[in-house]
A = this chain, B = another copy of it.
């Protein structure tokens, strides 16, 4: 061709780390980001557990769930107030509580002291979400919605950036760089399952890319999370993949916990119930201790 064959970069090169992701890049001193949300430290010895339902279904369920999480030793309450489906219709069973849901999350925090992580997916809702959230979640669908990333970064709130289910390590780091470049400092990277050629059940859509955990920690100083519930889409695999996440070096774990999984408003195959959560907390603590970290 005569045209030089420049690789556009599927992978993260050392040159990329210097010129394209300087704020995200792990430096020679190997210093890793640590920060506190209330009194929960991310990036240190503790592996904080973020747990709760996919969606705030009503005030009572979110309060009951928050209490169960608190009691089992969980650190952060997760739940979506804004949670659109991948098509524009709702059903009697599935709906979004939106601002009303945010208020219930606030109530749950007041009742239990658990900090809140919840998703923002609309530039016009950043302010409303930032008032309630202790950590603002950016979901898979908006990983490269740079306009939203910039507005969320400006709130100076802690942020969890989920990797898009089809995104490269490089694109994920690029989105994190947008956040740090705009002034965010307390950012968590979250692997939540990739689309791969072969999933494992007719009900599964993703596979947790655990190799992304050491890969992300090799290039970046930011703490790395995994979301085994969403990745597996299948409650029986949540425990093994949570333990594997800890063993692989994940700094925090997000879990879907529901008072009555079979009757969850959405994705009923993936949440674990309160008893399963209690049991899993204990197992995670054992594995964490085996690698000199802790969950409790």
Contact = CB atoms under 8 A, between A and B. Distances in A.
Contacts of A178: 87-88
A45 interface: no
Interface stretch (A69-77, A100-108, A129-137, A286-294): A286-294
A199 B182 CA distance: 28
A55 to B, nearest CB: 15
Given A141-B145, A209-B207, A200 B3 contact: no
B201 A5 contact: yes
A186 to B, nearest CB: 18
11 contacts: A1-B235, A84-B146, A86-B170, A88-B146, A88-B181, A125-B147, A166-B167, A169-B200, A211-B231, A241-B248, A286-B291
Contacts of A181: 88-89
A36 B249 CA distance: 33
A241 B86 contact: no
Interface residues of A, number: 96
Interface stretch (A6-14, A26-34, A46-54): A6-14
A118 interface: no
Interface stretch (A56-64, A109-117, A154-162, A260-268): A260-268
B11 A202 contact: yes
A212 B240 CA distance: 11
A168 B206 CA distance: 12
Interface of A: 1-3, 5-8, 10-13, 19-21, 84-89, 121-125, 141-148, 164-171, 173-175, 177-178, 181-182, 194-205, 207-215, 218, 231-233, 235-237, 240-241, 243-249, 261-262, 267-269, 283, 286-287, 289-291
Contacts of A246: 247
Contact of A209 (B147, B196, B202, B235): B196
Contact of A166 (B86, B87, B166, B289): B166
A123 B147 contact: yes
B166 A195 contact: yes
A13 B203 CA distance: 11
Contacts of A243: 247-248, 291
Contact of A195 (B13, B198, B245): B198
Nearest to A267: B8
